[in-house]
Amino acid sequence: MTATTSSRPISLTRFLIEEQRDKQHINADLRLLIEVVARACKRIAISVGRGALGGVLGSAGTENVQGEVQKKLDVLSNEILLEANEWGGHLAALASEEMDDPHPIPHRYPKGEYLLVFDPLDGSSNIDVNISVGTIFSVLRCPAGVKEPDEKAFLQPGTQQVAAGYAVYGSSTMLVLTLGDGVHAFTLDREIGSFMLTQRDLAIPADTREFAINMSNLRHWEAPMRRYIDELLAGKAGPRGADFNMRWVASMVADVHRIVCRGGIFVYPLDAKIRDKGGKLRLMYEANPMAFIVEQAGGMATNGHGRIMEIVPQSLHQRVPVFLGSKNEIERVTRYHREAASE
């Protein structure tokens, strides 16, 4: 469910200038920040596209703060985003999945009013087998009066985001962006090196017959999650009276991009294996930006009990269950969890 642009798509730069000038929706610093992030994504796309020829496949031999083995491209993508953003004067600090603590802006550079949080390469377990991966980012305002932002400055609910987006590195490289006024998609024109607006006002259908979930964890799920999936798997003969299809890429960016383009739901629920961690996906740089995008496209995003973007973070790398996508299905599965909790 998308609205395509005219026969002559405009560039990301022009789109952002018009958002600033005509709608006064963003200021110059935020516009320039988005452009810098987009340029970094182009550099990451080049590295991903070279694959084995670039010598960047395989493990880096290190672990991130979550204890996950880092791929070489994880480390490279993180360095690209840091290098691109620390000198522009738009940011007060940055934070990444790949770093324990926030990254301060070096004193030799000016500071701005924004905070940038990102997952530099989501789905990196798929890198070596040439499946789509991506970059997720979220932009927050630095709290007033904070000169040297620490972790506490970043701990804002998702409702405080001023922009969010992701780049997906697939058959084409796309940047999907929200500034709080709808969701728009840009495709990288490799001949001219620019992101071009190809879809305006992406809209997620309220109803769907497609779901994305890691079925291998079924035995670990809580009862309301099993109830919901059992109903879908029962098909026309079951209580839903309809057949549902399952899609699972194991790359959040790829799965969510499909949902943003044609509907569906993405679920990574709480289960017995990850209960002590609070969930699988990170709130600040995975769940919140994706929830912002999905809500702006008319969808819904919860943790199974309440709105994801209303959660007040307790730590930079906090994990949460994630249910997002087509509104009517997310309302149903969330209701099942609420009913079970009230019993």
Q: Taking the model in full, what pTM does it have?
A: 0.94
CA distance 232 to 169: 31
Q: Which two tokens stand for residue 98?
A: 């790949």
Q: Which two tokens stand for residue 23?
A: 């709608």
- Highest mean predicted confidence (pLDDT) among 2-11, 39-48, 126-135: 39-48
Is pLDDT above 80 for 281?
Answer: yes
CA distance 111 to 104: 10
Spell out a b/e string for 238-251, using b for 16 or more CB atoms within 10 Å of the CB, else e.
eebeeebeeeebeb
**Residue-level pLDDT at 50:** 84
* Residue from 98, 73, 293, 265 nearest 179 by CA: 293
**Residue-level pLDDT at 41:** 97
Coil, strand, or helix at residue 112? coil
CA distance 210 to 271: 22
Residue 40 CB coordination number (10 Å): 23
Q: Give the DSSP per-residue string, 199-252.
A: EES----S--SEEE--GGGGGGB-HHHHHHHHHHHTGGGSTT-S--EE---S-H
**How does the average pLDDT of the chain come out, rounded?**
93
Q: Specify the residue for token string 């789905």.
A: 123
Mean pLDDT of 240-269: 97
Q: Specify the residue for token string 């395989």.
A: 58
CA distance 335 to 343: 13
* Strands lying side by side in the sheet with 183-189: 3-4, 194-200, 183-189, 173-178, 163-169, 133-141, 114-122, 91-96, 103-104
Is pLDDT above 70 for 56?
Answer: no
**Residue-level pLDDT at 60:** 52
**Residue-level pLDDT at 8:** 80
Residue 103 CB coordination number (10 Å): 18
- The domains of the chain, with CATH numbers, are 3-200 (3.30.540.10), 210-342 (3.40.190.80)
